[in-house]
């Protein structure tokens, strides 16, 4: 089968589309014919070798995919059934979605929700799934549209752009932080009510004027520190990313004086039982315009060059990979 294959030579990661063989299915595994995958920040780190994502080579990258069951040794899945996969270490330590087929544990698969096509599922992909988890974390913290503005950082990226659309669709006022003036029109089209330059978030005091009821942070570092210092009394910040830095140069002040909650969000190990509901909410909440505005489609052969663009902050919205394009 055709796959993007990563190999390691003299400390360099090489990425090439090749024909390879998948192993036979083990008990509980499902072979999926993949139609669509996507590129996420983690895929960009893996494909370029700029992040220590992959430890065993050769590896097929691709942390998510959608397709149809080809063969199943799990009684819950039958040939022809439409399925989605995100996370579980697929594309990191298990051959992934940037390929014509994948063999994965049935436990890792989610049935494609009604009213969502396989293509739409991968426009959403891991990034969109994570954006929904962040929005649900804010809702679980009790934040309502009338509580005030929600800030989204790294807003032009995959997680950020989807979070902007979701929050807007749910009635929140949304402020977007971006490092790029070139994406302002894009962010306004998605529904951002206010746009702030990333340069405003370089320095912070332990506590600043309270501006945000909550936030979805995809970048970490100094930006997240400033967001925490500007969060309203009793607010919540959902932190899922490190596109700026994995460090967090903050103080305890927002937590002990303003009752601010910092809620971590992970998408990789979300229990299977919870995933269907998250996808259902995505299918119900995202407007049709999201799938046109937020997606760029590429082929498998274009994935390595596009991965390099990710790390130079040249990508906006979501990148969909047409496996058979």
Summarize as ranges the residues that interact with ligand NDP (CB under 6 A). 40-42, 126-127, 130, 154-160, 178-180, 183, 198, 218-219, 223, 240-244, 265-268, 310, 313, 315
SS3 content of the chain, % helix, strand, coil (to 5): 35, 30, 40
Shortest Cβ 287–ligand NDP spacing (Å): 19
* Chain center to CA of 34: 19
| Nearest CB to ligand NDP, comparing residues 7 and 266 | 266
| Nearest CB to ligand NDP, comparing residues 259 and 296 | 296
| Nearest CB to ligand NDP, comparing residues 100 and 192 | 192
The answer to whether 159 and 238 have CB atoms below 8 angstroms apart is no
Shortest Cβ 156–ligand NDP spacing (Å): 3
Q: Tokens at residue 10, please?
A: 């003299």
The answer to whether 60 and 89 have CB atoms below 8 angstroms apart is no
| Nearest CB to ligand NDP, comparing residues 269 and 288 | 269
**Helix, strand or coil, per DSSP, at residue 319:** strand
| Nearest CB to ligand NDP, comparing residues 77 and 241 | 241
Shortest Cβ 33–ligand NDP spacing (Å): 25
Shortest Cβ 241–ligand NDP spacing (Å): 3
Q: Where does residue 209 rank: exposed (0-12), middle (13-18), buried (19+ CB within 10 A)?
A: exposed
Return the residue nearest ligand NDP (CB atom).
157
The answer to whether 149 and 212 have CB atoms below 8 angstroms apart is yes
What is the secondary structure of 150-199 as a DSSP string? Answer: EEESSTTSHHHHHHHHHHHHTT--EEEEES-GGGHHHHHHHT-SEEEEGG
């Amino acid at each position: 089968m055709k796959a993007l294959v990563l190999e390691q030579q003299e400390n360099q990661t090489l990425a090439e589309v090749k024909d390879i063989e998948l192993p036979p299915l083990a008990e509980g595994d499902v072979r999926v014919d993949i139609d669509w995958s996507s590129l996420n920040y983690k895929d960009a780190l893996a494909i370029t070798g700029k992040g220590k994502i992959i430890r065993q080579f050769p590896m097929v990258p691709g942390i998510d995919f959608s397709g149809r069951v080809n063969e199943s040794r799990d009684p819950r899945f039958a040939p022809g059934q439409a399925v989605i996969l995100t996370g579980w270490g697929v594309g990191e330590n298990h051959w992934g979605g940037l390929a014509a087929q994948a063999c994965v544990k049935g436990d890792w698969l989610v049935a494609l929700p009604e009213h969502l096509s396989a293509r739409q599922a991968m426009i959403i992909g891991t990034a969109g799934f994570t954006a929904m988890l962040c929005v649900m974390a804010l809702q679980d913290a009790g934040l309502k549209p009338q509580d005030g503005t929600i800030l989204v950082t790294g807003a032009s990226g995959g997680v950020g752009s989807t979070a902007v659309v979701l929050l807007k669709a749910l009635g929140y006022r949304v402020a977007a932080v971006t490092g790029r003036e070139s994406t302002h029109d894009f962010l306004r089209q998605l529904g951002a009510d206010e746009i702030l330059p990333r340069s405003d978030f370089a320095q912070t005091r332990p506590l600043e004027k309270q501006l945000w009821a909550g936030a979805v942070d995809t970048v970490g570092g100094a930006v997240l520190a400033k967001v925490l210092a500007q969060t309203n009394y009793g607010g919540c910040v959902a932190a899922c990313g490190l596109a700026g830095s994995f460090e967090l140069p903050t103080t305890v002040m927002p937590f002990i004086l303003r009752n601010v909650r910092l809620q971590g969000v992970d998408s990789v190990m979300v229990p299977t039982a919870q995933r269907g509901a998250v996808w259902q909410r995505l299918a119900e909440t995202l407007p049709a315009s999201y799938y046109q505005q937020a997606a760029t489609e590429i082929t498998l052969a274009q994935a390595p060059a596009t991965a390099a663009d990710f790390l130079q902050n040249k990508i906006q919205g979501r990148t969909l990979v047409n496996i058979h394009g």
